[in-house]
Chains A and B, each alone.
Chain A
Amino acid sequence: MEELLKLCGFEGDEAAAERPRIGRAFLKLGISAEDIERGTQRLSRYYATELQGIRKILRLLVKNMVNTVLAREDGKTKVIYGFMIPGFSVFTSALVSLSQEIHAAYLCPQFQIILGGIFDKMSPVLEAAEGKWLKSGMVAHCGNVKGLVGLLVRDLIPRPDLLITSGLLCETAPKSVDLLHELYGIPECCYDTCQDREAGEYPAATERIVSLAAKSLRLVTRKIHEEVGIEITDDMLQDILNARQGLCDTLGRVDTFMQQGDPLPISANSQILWDYMGALTFSKENTPEAIDAINTLCLELEERVSQGVGEVEKGAPRILAMLPSHHTDPRQDHIVGELGMAIASTDRIFDTSDMKMPEDPYEQMILDIMRGSLFHSAQRRVSLVIEGCRRLHIEGLLNRCHIGCRTVTGDALLIKEAVSRELDIPVLFQERDDFDSRVYNHEQFKRNLEVFKTMLKSRSGEARVP
């Protein structure tokens, strides 16, 4: 345990103080001594725990998970969960800054990374959901939603006083949240927009759907007010947005080091760790801790880039990977680096800046979301990927396709065809569930990557996108 805690950034007095709580949470989650030993090995092998920044981020994720599992024991009278709800961290940061009786957690990245990525123990959670309404098989329910349902139906986390989701990307999340309400009496709410932007009507269409979603999000904060008795004012939201701006800016710098560093300064595997820092709820007092973790990582990456130190050798083929790293299975991104390819970026950070930032804090939050690659229609997303490949001198595309998600899966073959046609670079198509390590054959993927690398090599020199 000590070694594991150390790799997760807990040291000295804090490690000693937190150990009993972490132990209790692990016990509840079914993490045994054997799991801890294996998890420690996986941490060292798959994540860049030699970096202080990574350890600090892991520490915050572990704390978030433990605080969630023990929320009721800790005396939290109001527990609020967010699921698939961008912006959740902003308004709940306002809440937890005002009341220590509230625990707010965005689910389920902390569980997917720790319980899944580190301990490889997500399968029982997924199976619990499959025993309910998210059955396995051809219907391809999303492993992320299974994670939420599994954690709740197995009572691994306390039943919340409010569960909030959004329908910005899919119907599966709101439907499951609705069923959790109907079957388990969990209070719910959801915010929405309309995904009806046509290719030719930007930016007017963005303004239209941002305005709609902002109105819908206001209803969510009204519901929170009803449930916890705290009103979130516009000024409070703006304060939090301002306080978190440093975090967002630094996260952007980290992405830039990844995109521009040659050699790639850190395994893309660790990307999933900082990806979710923006989604975690921090009180105003705790926000500097999060900024410090990302700043530390940023400085370490900067140093690596300047020293020419990296995860793969200099000049390794630069590839773009669709979607973030696998949430529960670090082997999948790790093998890419092991075979000498550099995932320079993922499309999740490609965005459009076609509308100036509005004054309304709700619209600011929504616009920030709606700019992202995943929220655009297929045609727009294809253009973003092509532009991104050109800008970053990408030599190959790892076209990961999360089969549990209709939104992204529906674009995958169009992207493959357009990238091959317009850029003439190799494309490797990978069907997987981004949250379920069971839907994966490591040896087969490795063989496919070897062929992909051969294709990249055979085109090296001639294939760099002009």
Chain B
Amino acid sequence: MQDERLARHLQDRPAQLREAKENGTKIIGYFPGNYVPEELIIAAGAIPICLINGGDTLPLEASLSVIPHIFCPFARTQIGERLLKRNPYYDMIDMFVAPITCQHLKKAAEIWEHYGDMEIFKLGVPHQGNNDFELEYFTDRLRVLKERLQILTGNKITDEKITGAINFYNRMKELLKQISLLRRSSSPPLSSADFLKLNHASYSADPAFMVDTLESVYRGLPEKQPVTRTDAPRLLLIGPNISDGDYKVLDLVEEAGGNIVIEEVYEGIRYYWHTIDSRGDPFESLARGYLQDRVPPAFMRYSTRKRLDFVLKLIADFNVSGVIWYELLGCETYDAESYYFSRKMEEQKIPMLILESDYGMAGVGQMKIRIEAFIEMVKGGLE
């Protein structure tokens, strides 16, 4: 369903960014996971770029010279891309904001820091998140980030600018949510791949252009034909990460006749369920919004039950009849949680399939067979 204007924009985006950079605008890179407020970056007059590339084995091979294989392929991709120097986004960053989330991305950031060729800001993410002193810590770190951005860009970040950016990104999140909710219908007008690609685009496209695109996409969707048969099993996709380029599982599910109607994915999907409160102190609002008012990923403490409750709600709201758990090899927290979720799904009589990927082609054949069998099984249960 790729919007042609958006596709052209994404193609031209590296050149646009290079030009902006030549004109003195700073490019701020960051890792996904929804802990880095782009609002601050925009308020500093800089351009945020989220590094969410994945799905390719070449960077993985390159990464093995500095990091062992037990790291997840997404984290290794980030290291490998920097070593390969083939992706323009990885080379044009003036400052990198590394949210200290899971051990995999934390270590990827440390390796970048070790090489010392880029300014890095480590944004500490308190892993419990629900205590006042943790909120305070995160708020303080955001204030320090503001200082660092001001020094880098030479621009003053005012509360008004931040509030404006909050409102702007809230609009983007609302649009993504509205689009996503259309998939509650029995004849969804867009596939999971369509939605994810839109979502991924929002991480590198010009933000104003993106909002405009999302508005246009949302307006046009009701007129679209359903993307799948109405009797296709409705599935929920859960996992730590769907990166830009890692669409194999989506394709295989679609080919097998399944329909992923909703995702609960931590990295690679902009969190759109909640907006940020634009009243009051903007730093406190950002801290609360990014740290607390959200579904915690699996690496966060005491997150298992909260995530289960959210997933059960999605299953009900989106009329889901099967769950695909898609994890990256080496992701220890999601792997551990898959055991718990599979048991809980069994209690709910919701079939669940656990898949692992290392981005390689070797396991694709087996993955295909398992997905086909799973969808047959879900279909059988529906009949």
**A134→B340 contact, CB < 8 A:** no
Count of chain A residues with Cβ under 8 Å from any Cβ of B? 50
| Contact flags B116-133 to A (C-beta < 8 A → 1, else 0) | 100011111111100101
**A196→B120 contact, CB < 8 A:** no
- Main secondary structure, interface of B, reads mixed
**A175→B298 contact, CB < 8 A:** yes
**B102→A198 contact, CB < 8 A:** no
Which chain B residues lie closer than 8 Å to A190 at the CB level?
128, 301-302
Which chain A residues lie closer than 8 Å to B277 at the CB level?
none
Closest to B122 in A: A196
Given known A-B contacts A192-B126, A194-B100, A194-B137, A378 and B336 have beta carbons under 8 A apart: no
Is residue B103 within 8 Å, beta carbon to beta carbon, of the partner chain?
yes
- How many A-B contacts if CB must be within 8 Å? 151
Q: Which of A139, A219, A409 contacts B131 (CB 8 A)?
A: A219
A212 CA to B133 CA, complexed, in Å: 7
**B71→A182 contact, CB < 8 A:** no
Given known A-B contacts A140-B330, A194-B124, A195-B100, A431 and B68 have beta carbons under 8 A apart: yes
Interface residues of A in 193-243 (CB under 8 A from B): 194-199, 208-209, 212, 215-216, 219
**A414→B122 contact, CB < 8 A:** no
| Contact flags B63-106 to A (C-beta < 8 A → 1, else 0) | 00111111100000000000000000000000000001011101
Is residue B349 within 8 Å, beta carbon to beta carbon, of the partner chain?
no
A208 CA to B140 CA, complexed, in Å: 10
Is residue B206 within 8 Å, beta carbon to beta carbon, of the partner chain?
no
**A141→B336 contact, CB < 8 A:** yes
A284 CA to B43 CA, complexed, in Å: 57
Q: Which of A134, A139, A175 contacts B329 (CB 8 A)?
A: A139
Which chain B residues lie closer than 8 Å to A197 at the CB level?
122
Q: Distance in Å from the Cβ of A179 to the closest Cβ of chain B?
A: 6
Q: Which of B128, B134, B333 contacts A171 (CB 8 A)?
A: B333
Given known A-B contacts A182-B304, A190-B301, A197-B122, A378 and B111 have beta carbons under 8 A apart: yes
Is residue A125 within 8 Å, beta carbon to beta carbon, of the partner chain?
no
Which chain A residues lie closer than 8 Å to B124 at the CB level?
194-196, 209, 212
Closest to A379 in B: B114
Which chain B residues lie closer than 8 Å to A159 at the CB level?
none
Given known A-B contacts A167-B127, A175-B299, A410 and B332 have beta carbons under 8 A apart: no
Is residue B264 within 8 Å, beta carbon to beta carbon, of the partner chain?
no
Is residue A339 within 8 Å, beta carbon to beta carbon, of the partner chain?
no
A78 CA to B340 CA, complexed, in Å: 28
A417 CA to B329 CA, complexed, in Å: 26
A190 CA to B102 CA, complexed, in Å: 16
A26 CA to B301 CA, complexed, in Å: 35
Q: Distance in Å from the Cβ of A32 to the closest Cβ of chain B?
A: 32
Which chain A residues lie closer than 8 Å to B274 at the CB level?
none
**A172→B70 contact, CB < 8 A:** no
Is residue A299 within 8 Å, beta carbon to beta carbon, of the partner chain?
no
Closest to B110 in A: A378
Is residue B319 within 8 Å, beta carbon to beta carbon, of the partner chain?
no
Q: Which of A132, A171, A417 contacts B339 (CB 8 A)?
A: A132
Is residue B337 within 8 Å, beta carbon to beta carbon, of the partner chain?
yes
A170 CA to B102 CA, complexed, in Å: 8
A172 CA to B141 CA, complexed, in Å: 25
Interface residues of A in 6-52 (CB under 8 A from B): none
Interface residues of A in 396-411 (CB under 8 A from B): 401, 403, 406-407, 409-411
Is residue A174 within 8 Å, beta carbon to beta carbon, of the partner chain?
yes
Is residue B9 within 8 Å, beta carbon to beta carbon, of the partner chain?
no
| Contact flags A114-145 to B (C-beta < 8 A → 1, else 0) | 00000000000000000011110011111000
Closest to A149 in B: B336
Is residue B25 within 8 Å, beta carbon to beta carbon, of the partner chain?
no
Q: Which of A139, A212, A406 contacts B107 (CB 8 A)?
A: A406
**B68→A403 contact, CB < 8 A:** yes
**A410→B127 contact, CB < 8 A:** no
Is residue B305 within 8 Å, beta carbon to beta carbon, of the partner chain?
yes
**Most B-side CB within 10 Å, residue of A138, A182, A194:** A194
Given known A-B contacts A216-B128, A410-B67, A178 and B103 have beta carbons under 8 A apart: no
**A212→B137 contact, CB < 8 A:** yes
Which chain B residues lie closer than 8 Å to A138 at the CB level?
69-70, 329-330, 358
Closest to B66 in A: A413
**B335→A135 contact, CB < 8 A:** yes
**B340→A212 contact, CB < 8 A:** no
**A178→B110 contact, CB < 8 A:** no
**B67→A413 contact, CB < 8 A:** yes
Which chain B residues lie closer than 8 Å to A431 at the CB level?
68
A417 CA to B114 CA, complexed, in Å: 12
Given known A-B contacts A377-B110, A406-B71, A178 and B301 have beta carbons under 8 A apart: yes
Closest to B101 in A: A171
**B100→A378 contact, CB < 8 A:** no
**B122→A198 contact, CB < 8 A:** yes
Is residue B113 within 8 Å, beta carbon to beta carbon, of the partner chain?
yes
Which chain A residues lie closer than 8 Å to B113 at the CB level?
198-199, 377-379
**B305→A182 contact, CB < 8 A:** yes
Which chain B residues lie closer than 8 Å to A175 at the CB level?
298-299, 304, 332-333, 336-337
**A198→B104 contact, CB < 8 A:** no
Closest to A414 in B: B114
**B305→A172 contact, CB < 8 A:** no
Which chain B residues lie closer than 8 Å to A291 at the CB level?
none
Interface residues of A in 370-422 (CB under 8 A from B): 377-379, 382, 401, 403, 406-407, 409-414, 417
Is residue B178 within 8 Å, beta carbon to beta carbon, of the partner chain?
no
Q: Distance in Å from the Cβ of A132 to the closest Cβ of chain B?
A: 6
**A413→B122 contact, CB < 8 A:** no
Which chain B residues lie closer than 8 Å to A287 at the CB level?
none
Q: Distance in Å from the Cβ of A171 to the closest Cβ of chain B?
A: 4
A350 CA to B83 CA, complexed, in Å: 31
Is residue B303 within 8 Å, beta carbon to beta carbon, of the partner chain?
yes
Q: Distance in Å from the Cβ of A359 to the closest Cβ of chain B?
A: 19
**B340→A133 contact, CB < 8 A:** yes
A residues near B (Cβ < 8 Å) are 132-135, 138-142, 167, 170-172, 174-176, 178-179, 182-183, 190, 192, 194-199, 208-209, 212, 215-216, 219, 377-379, 382, 401, 403, 406-407, 409-414, 417, 431
- For the complex of A and B, the 4 pairs showing the least CB-CB separation, nearest first, are A194-B124, A196-B124, A410-B107, A133-B339
Known: A178-B304, A182-B340, A413-B65. 15 other contacts (CB 8 A): A132-B339, A139-B330, A174-B301, A178-B303, A179-B304, A179-B337, A183-B343, A194-B100, A212-B137, A377-B110, A378-B113, A379-B116, A403-B68, A413-B66, A413-B67
Query: What are 14 A-B residue pairs whose CB atoms fall within 8 Å in the complex?
Result: A133-B340, A175-B304, A178-B301, A198-B122, A209-B124, A212-B124, A212-B126, A377-B110, A379-B113, A382-B114, A406-B104, A407-B107, A410-B71, A411-B110
